[in-house]
Structure 1
Amino acid sequence: MPRLPLRAFLALGLGAAGLAATLVLALVVSRVAADRLSERIAGETGDLARHVAGQLDRTMFERWRDILILAENDTLRDPQAGSEQKRRVLRRAHETYPDYAIVGLIAPEGRIAVTDSGRLEGLDVAHRVYFTQGRQGPFVGDVHDALLLATLQPGRDPADPPRVLDLAAPVRTPEGALAGVVVAHLDWAWSREVEASLHDQASGGRRGVEVMVLARDGTVLLGPPALRNRVLADLPSVAAVRAGAGGATQETWPDGRVALTGYQPTRGYRDYPGLGWSVLVRQDAAEALAPVRALHRQILLWGLAVAAASASAGWFAAASLARPLRRLALAAGALGRGTPLSVPESPVREAQAIGLALSAANEALRQRAEERRQAEARQELLIHELNHRVKNTLATVQALARQTARGADSVPAFTAAFEARLLAMSQTHMLLTASQWSTTGLRRILELELAPYASGRPERIHLDGPEVGLAPRIAVPLGMTVHELATNAAKYGALSVPEGRVVVRWTLADGLLRLSWQESGGPAVAAPERTGFGTRLIRTSVERELAGTVALDFLSDGLLCRLTLPLERSEAPEPQAA
């Protein structure tokens, strides 16, 4: 049996070992990378579907709100107003949002009384769903063919009628009697702009991303032309979204594509109930996993290069090993001959170098272990801090809910008050998050809370004071206090009338923050007979949580509220650059 020389043996062995290791590494890395990338992209598509569904609900809410506002128009509510006056109102509504196909007012008996263009007036639509439902309350109907409107468009193919969404709301006289039903047909051509907008938001520059909107029965309303108007009933994502769930999955579509699909049902927005639509965002799996394939090729190419380098290194390393071995073989061959042996010296210096290298490596490992221990300690501290903040926040929310419920006269009143207070707390939390929960500016909190009440007139609200940085424990209660003062002013005080004005001044001296809230130009105020929840919340936030003082003076010109808060030494005036 032929024997390989040492040089060839080491070269082949090192090259084969390098190639085998590369192949194994490529397989493992590709699989792990593919799994993690699939999970990440699936999660992103689910998030995109949730975002798009919310955007779609808010877009439809705008149209829903248009009709509700139109139904409250004084001209339409006045039975004595002439048809031309009402037509001008409807025409302005149509001009405000041109995607309406037609806007009209239906008389209580079911005949179209007036439209924005004068078309279809006098037509009996008493049997139409939008009229029968619109008499009872606000109504929105799903996409359907508008056969009647097709007759008003000369040259239009009757087999291809326009598609519309119906929006309707009752119009009542000041005495509460039914004056008619205002109705608008939203042209489905509007969907092309919505589709382009939703696609731009969802793709984010990524290739192969498609957005679809499905009706309640699974029909594709918006999406790729090949799937439009098809009913998707067998997809796992459609089944899940019909059950009211949202998420992401990988599935095979009817067009044969394997895709990562995010799905989310629309749930309406505020008082808009929604139409039961579903949003699907899919990305072709081949496109999504293209980076994994590129990584796999790179690993193989680098593996081949490493294998070749290993074989070359083995070839040259074998030469340095073969020489002392040959000398030892010659020396061993001289045994028993009586001749002196020439034995090569042991490479002690190299052994010492290896020992020093091992010592250096051991020290490096020890340092790495210490760094990891410190990192774990920091992480544990952050987790404890997060738990503490979450518990405090939940306790605050629980107290808000309980106290708001005690003072609410009805469920809608409770919901409105509770949501407003949660929003005030969340706005302050948003500022603190932006500053990584270090400090946030007092002026920024005041601007954020009072901006909605300026009504486009900056002179209504005046802020005067130095820059002050507040720690989270002060920022959140103070933000809630300002929200309660602003809400009270908007309901009963200076901000409830156009000429009203609010001046907020504050000073910082000797570790004390003194803030005054002065209202003027509003209705005459008087001290309330009983203490409401808003006043209790202000006193609890300032006196109990912040160890400060509150003084409320109900002056004839408006409320005057003075707050005094002790600040820690670390809470100093912010630098001007902040």
Structure 2
Amino acid sequence: MPQPPLRVFLALGLGAAGLVATLVLALVASRVASQRLEARIESELADVAGILAGRLDRGLFERWRDMVILAENDTIRDPAASVARKRRVLRRAQETYPDYAIIGLVGADGRIEATSTGALEGISVGHREYFTQGRDGPFVGDVHDALLLATLKPRREADEPQRVLDIAAPVRGDDGRLLGVVSGHLDWTWARAAEASLRETSGAMRDVSALMLARDGTVLLGPAPLNRKTLPADLPSVAAAREGRSGTAAETWPDGRRYLTGYRQARGYRDFPGLGWTVLVRQDADTAFASVTDLRRQILLWGLVVATVAAGIGWFAAGLLARPLRRLAVAAAALGRGEPVAVPASAVREAQAISHALRVASSALQSQEEERRAADARQELLIHELNHRVKNTLATVQSMARQTARSAASLDDFTGSFEARLLAMSQTHNVLTANHWEGAGLRGILSAELEPYAGGRADRIRLEGPPVSLTPAVALPLGMAIHELATNAAKYGALSAEAGQVAVDWAVRTGTLSLRWRESGGPPVAPPVRTGFGTRLIRASLERELAGEVRLDYAEGGLACLIAVPLAARIAAA
């Protein structure tokens, strides 16, 4: 029986080895890639749930703060103010944030004195939770049907009942006596905006739905079949969220379908403690992992293709190996017969080609390594820069808190002054962030600090000067100084009077910014008896930090301040 040639043995061996190796590598790559893709998908859902919970908490905090600020309004706190005046204040507050269904002022006796729409006035709400709780401090109630508001207009049977959240804060006189309670009733459609933002945040994720659960597990917002239903407490995502955890769970819901669910409990924001809501973001498991399934299928398919090609290459390679062996066998046979022998030459060219390929690969690898080192160096530089900026900011806040506390007459005085200065620093940070911390326009900083005091009148503030770009090191101290001048003008200077005006003009000469602040039309000015913290802050920020110069002129017609600051950054159009 004739023996098979060497090419058959080599082709079968190399082809089988290539096929097995390729299939094993394809399976391993498929598993590793699938696990990473699944982890990324789960992380995305958990992130979306966290983002939505954060937006809900911040949104309710802002509305809670609206009522606290409204309760401090002088007209609202004035027992002698007419109902019409109070109604106008409430209407302006509602126009500022239209998602309020109605805003009202309830007297200390529990009767509604005035509302933003004029409706429901005179009705007793002394038994309502927002009044009983709002007398003691700021209060936010959970979602409920708007029973009183439903009486204002007829509702068709197909319409869903209007739902609101009650937000209230006590109104107290200067002596601390309770004068009433301001209450805003936030239309629950406000939450739809948060859900719409989820759609934008989820991006390319398909069939994603968000649910908001009350503390007892009732669905406040979600798919129509689940609205106002109570989810089982043993649902893994619900149970985990109630324990204060956040993450993602693959679970079977009451409808029998399997979902990938991201969960997060709303934990409140700053002073607002939150309502104990739970945010769930779910996606059908098959849809969520469709890309994983496709990836596995493609890897296995390409693995089979590569294995087949490997078998063909094995057959071809076996031919290349067998041919020289046959030549050597022919030469050996000829030598055995005593015939002249021509020994085949070695494959030097192929070795040189391989050597050249390795040199090219080595050169490419070295280039990649150099790029990686450069990227690491850039990242390290950015981290050092970030640490430097954070330390400087923390040092400024610490100094500001200490100095504000020394000059504050009370805790409320300290809180108001300190928050105002932090807000001023935040305004300048916002301008710098918009320019990627590469610089900030002087006009933008001045506008951000002064526009809140203009009252919507263009004639109150006048800014004049060329475009100037400031480095962050100059922009932050200068922004704080302008804030102190603006606050002083609003309290005691030109901006405290109806006809008062502030003019700011500037110029740049030989690398130095010269800025002049002038007030006019305000009450008479007299030099202060003692140097306040604001003045010390201005001098410390500009003279000590920036080696600048500050001159204050307490002229009777209005305060004038001359500032000269050397610019350490380039000057460009702002």
Is the aligned partner of 1:525 residue 2:525? Answer: yes
Distance 2:155 2:32 in 1: 60
Distance 1:472 1:238, change over 3 A: same
Q: Is the 8 A contact 1:258 1:285 kept in 2?
A: yes
| Of 506-515 and 175-184, the range deviating more from structure 2 | 175-184
Counterpart code for 2:264: Y
Distance 1:135 1:502 in 2: 41
Per the normalisation by structure 1, the TM-score is 0.82
Alignment deviations for residues 404-460 of structure 1 (CA, whole Å, 9 cap, x no partner): 222233334333333333333344334444444433332332233333333322332
Distance 2:566 2:242 in 1: 55
Distance 1:284 1:452, change over 3 A: farther
Query: SS of the residue aligned with 2:550?
Result: strand
Distance 1:448 1:400 in 2: 20
Instruction: Tell me the residue number matched to 1:515.
Output: 515
Counterpart code for 1:572: R
Distance 2:131 2:369 in 1: 74
Distance 1:13 1:104, change over 3 A: same
Q: Is the 8 A contact 2:265 2:276 kept in 1?
A: no
Distance 1:400 1:469, change over 3 A: same
**Length, aligned pairs only:** 568
Distance 1:391 1:165, change over 3 A: closer
Q: Considering only aligned residues, what root-mean-square deviation do their CA atoms show, in Å?
A: 4.1
Counterpart code for 1:485: L
Distance 2:238 2:121 in 1: 42
Is the aligned partner of 1:350 residue 2:343? Answer: no
Instruction: Tell me the residue number matched to 2:477.
Output: 477
Distance 2:192 2:443 in 1: 40
Instruction: Tell me the residue number matched to 1:337.
Output: 337
Alignment of structure 1 residues 121-132 onto 2, 5 Å: 126-132=126-132
Q: CA deviation at 1:560?
A: 1.2
Alignment of structure 1 residues 148-547 onto 2, 5 Å: 164-168=164-168, 188=188, 190=189, 193-194=192-193, 196-228=195-227, 229-235=229-235, 237-239=237-239, 241-242=241-242, 245=244, 247-255=246-254, 256-268=257-269, 274-547=274-547
Alignment deviations for residues 43-63 of structure 1 (CA, whole Å, 9 cap, x no partner): 444443343234334544565
Counterpart code for 1:340: P
Of all paired residues, the percent bearing the same amino acid is 61
Q: Is the 8 A contact 1:79 1:179 kept in 2?
A: no
Distance 1:546 1:408 in 2: 27
Query: SS of the residue aligned with 2:33?
Result: helix
Q: Is the 8 A contact 2:552 2:562 kept in 1?
A: yes
Alignment deviations for residues 34-92 of structure 1 (CA, whole Å, 9 cap, x no partner): 4444444444444433432343345445655676648969589658968x999999899
Q: Is the 8 A contact 1:34 1:289 kept in 2?
A: no
Distance 1:153 1:478, change over 3 A: closer
Counterpart code for 1:573: I
Distance 2:155 2:437 in 1: 64
Counterpart code for 1:212: L
| Of 117-126 and 212-221, the range deviating more from structure 2 | 117-126
Q: CA deviation at 1:550?
A: 0.9
What residue ranges of structure 1 are gaps of 5+ in the alignment? none
Counterpart code for 2:260: A
Q: CA deviation at 1:326?
A: 0.9
Q: Is the 8 A contact 2:237 2:262 kept in 1?
A: yes
Query: SS of the residue aligned with 2:459?
Result: helix
| Of 546-555 and 227-236, the range deviating more from structure 2 | 227-236
| Of 306-315 and 547-556, the range deviating more from structure 2 | 306-315
Distance 1:213 1:460, change over 3 A: same
Distance 1:536 1:187, change over 3 A: closer
Q: CA deviation at 1:329?
A: 0.9
Distance 1:289 1:458, change over 3 A: farther
Distance 1:162 1:361, change over 3 A: closer
Distance 1:39 1:300, change over 3 A: closer
Distance 1:301 1:340 in 2: 53
Distance 1:249 1:508, change over 3 A: same
Instruction: Tell me the residue number matched to 1:573.
Output: 571
Distance 1:29 1:489, change over 3 A: farther
Q: Is the 8 A contact 2:267 2:273 kept in 1?
A: no
Q: CA deviation at 1:462?
A: 2.1
Q: Is the 8 A contact 2:75 2:81 kept in 1?
A: no
Query: SS of the residue aligned with 2:142?
Result: strand
Query: SS of the residue aligned with 1:458?
Result: coil
Q: CA deviation at 1:573?
A: 2.2
Query: SS of the residue aligned with 1:398?
Result: helix
Q: Is the 8 A contact 1:150 1:161 kept in 2?
A: yes
Q: CA deviation at 1:537?
A: 1.5
Query: SS of the residue aligned with 2:526?
Result: coil
Counterpart code for 1:463: L
Q: CA deviation at 1:121?
A: 8.0
Q: CA deviation at 1:503?
A: 1.8
Alignment deviations for residues 465-515 of structure 1 (CA, whole Å, 9 cap, x no partner): 222232232222222222222222223222333432222222212222211
Q: Is the 8 A contact 1:215 1:277 kept in 2?
A: yes
Distance 1:435 1:232 in 2: 49
Instruction: Tell me the residue number matched to 2:559.
Output: 559
Q: Is the 8 A contact 1:195 1:222 kept in 2?
A: no
Q: CA deviation at 1:530?
A: 1.9
Query: SS of the residue aligned with 1:564?
Result: strand
Distance 2:196 2:253 in 1: 25
Counterpart code for 1:225: A
Query: SS of the residue aligned with 1:211?
Result: strand
Distance 1:419 1:235, change over 3 A: farther
Q: Is the 8 A contact 1:76 1:86 kept in 2?
A: no
Per the normalisation by structure 2, the TM-score is 0.82
Distance 2:511 2:30 in 1: 60
| Of 274-283 and 105-114, the range deviating more from structure 2 | 105-114
Distance 1:11 1:446, change over 3 A: farther
Query: SS of the residue aligned with 2:565?
Result: strand
What residue ranges of structure 2 are gaps of 5+ in the alignment? none
Distance 2:98 2:509 in 1: 58
